[in-house]
Homo-oligomer: A and B are copies of this chain.
Amino acid sequence: MPFATIADSNPIKLCVVIVGLPARGKSFISQKIVRYLSWLSIPTKSFNCSTNLEQILKESGTNADDLFRSNYASDGEILNKTRDITLEQILDWFGNVAACGVAIYDGINATKVERDRLNKTLQNHGINTVFLEAYCDDESIIETNITDIDSTSPEYSKFESLQDTINSVSNKIQFYSKAYQTLTTEDEGDLSFIKLINFSSQIILNHIDSYLKSRIVYYIMNLHVKNRYIWLSRHGESQYNLEGKIGGDASLSERGVKYSYKLVELVNKYIPNHDKLEVWTSTLKRTQQTAKFLPYPQKQWKALDELDAGSCDGLTYEEIAEKYPDDFKARDDNKFEYRYPGGESYRDVITRLEPIIMALENQENVLVITHQAVLRCIYAYFMNVHQEESPWMSIPLHTLIRLEIKAYGTQVTRIKADIPAVSTYKERGTSKLGESSNGTNIMSGSVISGITDKVVI
């Protein structure tokens, strides 16, 4: 039996139907929800209406400009077809891929009639619905959104200038605005909905009647669009690292201590406003020793402790392969779900990291000094790395990692301390560790749109 986590406490089919005019931040919110819920192991997928619309326009040889210059008709053939296809994709996904989970219907869903129809069809298929409206009448937010769309949305990459994007988006806004009906409790009080007004300065919640819905609301409340940095580092090289042992509570090696001195320099040089920095460590010695010389407020979190290797704690991978060959193989086969006897799996680590992620969404100027597996999980959240890949990412020692978090993506910069360290990276199917991590390791991970990974120094 798989172990239950938050994802399983109330397994339901839920469709989050996005509502909102163009440039209201709909895709930002959809993407964030997909990333967060997927990270928590809840099957989640976004279905984008405008991608489908583009395809239909192409196939029918219709010019988008012509469509958007016409009058909006809720039952117009092209829009109807777009909606049908999106809905079919969702029903198909629930029917054939995800027995439970969250589908996001990312579209305009402009009118009461359309929403009512959608709600009823989903209900008939045993799918719960919550409407999520991104309502915005603050022109400055809309302008910022258009600029963001221009620089990040593949849909607008064909335009050469920002002005072209502005014109195109404005046409669309005009087209949909004429028909658009905002969600109100007076008119659609029977629907379960979340209405975000001007990002989330005001939120109206109507019939939020399940745990999963409340969790989505909680997450959205904690989102910010402000660009900011989060800083990450593994502890310095430890005695156990030198001996190839996992787990334990060893002290730093001589080179590890060097890194702890060097880290002060790196922070001074690379972290702007470091006078306001806060340093988070785990409760284990090696992270606290690494933070020792940093003259900033420090917090120790149990949730940042390394993945608990249970009965394998203190062993080398070779010893594990010898003593527990079945476990060794099982872990290689499914590293995300595998739980050390009496210890933890990556999935377990994510469960306990969730409050840290929520706190990080509210923070800037934090340096998190923690452990390989924990950093993989934090990194996976910010970089949207799939759970099959995340336990295999190589995150080298003696490297300060900068996450630049922007509305539509995260950019990673690695700052190497130039202090040699052993590699603690074990490839699948072997019990040997990699070469020295000084300059040779690559932090892998799926690079999605708007997310890049670069190395400095």
Contacts and interface: CB of A to CB of B under 8 A. Distances in A.
Interface stretch (A16-24, A28-36, A296-304): A296-304
B202 A207 contact: yes
Contacts of A283: 3, 339
Contacts of A300: 1, 3-4
Interface in A303-341: 303, 339
A204 B206 CA distance: 9
A207 B210 CA distance: 23
A358 B362 CA distance: 21
Contact of A201 (B1, B207, B298): B207
Contacts of A10: 359, 362
B205 A351 contact: no
Contacts of A359: 6, 9-10, 211
Interface string A122-152: 0000000000000000000000000000000
A292 to B, nearest CB: 12
A192 to B, nearest CB: 10
A404 interface: no
A231 B324 CA distance: 38
Nearest to A208: B221
B211 A206 contact: no
27 contacts: A3-B301, A3-B302, A4-B280, A5-B301, A6-B359, A9-B299, A9-B355, A9-B362, A185-B202, A200-B205, A202-B206, A203-B206, A210-B362, A211-B358, A211-B362, A214-B218, A214-B222, A215-B218, A217-B221, A218-B218, A283-B339, A302-B339, A302-B348, A303-B351, A351-B352, A352-B352, A354-B355
